[in-house]
Structure 1
Amino acid sequence: MIIGVIGSVVPALPGSSLVLIAILLWGLVVGFGKIGVALGVAIAVLVISTAVDFLATFWGAKKAGVSRWGQIGAMVGLVAVLFGLLPPALVVGGPIIGLLIGPFLGAFIGEFLYRRNLKQALKAAVAVVASSLIGNLIQGILALGAVIVFLITTWSSVMG
């Protein structure tokens, strides 16, 4: 579950899914009757986190005036890093930084190709990455909340 909370904050890792899987595994071990509330919360967190991931990036980009080209470029940059088509920035700070650089470069290139304006392209790239990071922070808080609910609702069965 801790890895799931960390994964919720780190871009492109399935954090909320890992929390849900951990709760399901616990249910297999101790029985699902004792994890009903925690399981429901974890499923809700997964659904909400998915929506937050999409909406944070979309609203942040829209608020900054990022074009579809910039948004598509950010997605292409992320996919390029995930599939190893761009170096994961190992020299600069490891794969996590690469997951930020890919969307940044993609948004920058896409926006520049569309607008031919360096300042607007840079603004778009920063907005895409910043809104994505804000979304990841919200997802981390949600995942942590699911873990806390799990601990509260199962504490008595663990500690006797």
Structure 2
Amino acid sequence: MQILYWLLVAVMAVGIVGAVVPAIPGASLILIAIIIWGFISDSFAAIQTPLIVTVVVLLLSVGVDFLASYLGAKKAGASQWGQIGAIVGLVLGFLGFLPALPFGGPLLGMLLGPLVGSIIGEYLYRRDFGLAIKAGIGIVAGTLVGNLIQGLLAIAAVVVFLVTTWSQVYGT
């Protein structure tokens, strides 16, 4: 039972990473691991608290992601063109089309793609390169802050799981 417990904790660790890195499932992976533990341990009552906390974290993560990106864009004076450009840049960066770098792969593309995409989108809309750069940095900064908050929320969900289930596994 301990091996399965630690395998699920490892899945949750991947979920923590996924809360910060785009394109990897985050809180949903943690939620799935908690539900699997409920089936394995035959004690859904023991996972009730971590289950509720993780569902709240999952909902907050979605809200934080949108809110942080929106506030970063608004603070920098970005338009919808910049936000759309950031999304397009994220997708193209992940697929490896933007930027074409010999190193870093999709992870670096996911970091640089939204910046380049938002700058291009803003420039197409405003025709002012200085404002486009400012808006692009604002969008990316907001997204990074949102990802950091999502990571902290995911860590909190895993800690709650560990605290509430530790005695099930180790009997202390």
How far off its partner does 1:18 sit?
0.9
Gaps of 5+ in 2: 1-11
Give the TM-score of the pair, scaled to structure 1.
Answer: 0.93
Where does structure 1 lack aligned partners over 5 or more consecutive residues?
none
Q: CA deviation at 1:89?
A: 5.6
2:80 aligned residue: 68
- Correspondent of 2:144 among 133, 155, 160: 133
Cα distance in structure 2, aligned partners of 1:103 and 1:149:
33
Query: Which of residues 106, 111, 117 is equivalent to 2:128?
Result: 117
Structure 1 residues 107 and 87 mapped into 2: Cα distance closer, same or farther (>3 Å)? closer
Residues matched between the structures, number? 159
**Cα pair 2:89 2:98 within 8 Å, conserved:** no
How many Å separate the matches in 1 of 2:99 and 2:127?
A: 27
1:55 pairs with one of 67, 79, 91: 67
Identity of aligned residues (%): 56
**Per chain length, whose mean CA-contact separation is higher, i.e. which structure has more relative contact order (CA < 8 Å, sep 6+)?**
1
Q: In 1, are the aligned partners of 2:96 and 2:109 still within 8 Å (CA)?
A: no
Residue 165 of structure 2 is aligned to residue 154 of structure 1: yes
**Moved segments of 4+, more than 6 Å:** none
> Normalising to structure 2: TM-score of the pair?
0.87
Distance 1:71 1:114 in 2: 11
- Is contact 1:19–1:42 with CA below 8 Å preserved after alignment? yes
- Give the alignment of 1:34-49 within 5 angstroms: 34-49=46-61
C-alpha offsets along residues 35-56 of structure 1, whole Å, 9 cap, x if unaligned?
0000000000000001001110
Displacement of 1:91 after TM fit? 2.8
Q: How far apart are 1:33 and its partner, in Å?
A: 1.8
CA-CA distance at 1:90 after TM superposition: 5.5
Quick one: distance in 2 between partners of 1:90 and 1:157?
A: 49
Amino acid at match of 1:18: L
Amino acid at match of 1:78: L
**Larger mean Cα displacement after TM superposition, 52-61 or 94-103:** 94-103
Secondary structure, in 3 states, of the residue corresponding to 1:13?
coil
1:22 is matched with which residue: 24, 29, 33? 33
Measure how far apart 1:87 and its partner are.
Answer: 4.5
Structure 2 Cα separation of the partners of residues 48 and 18 of structure 1: 15
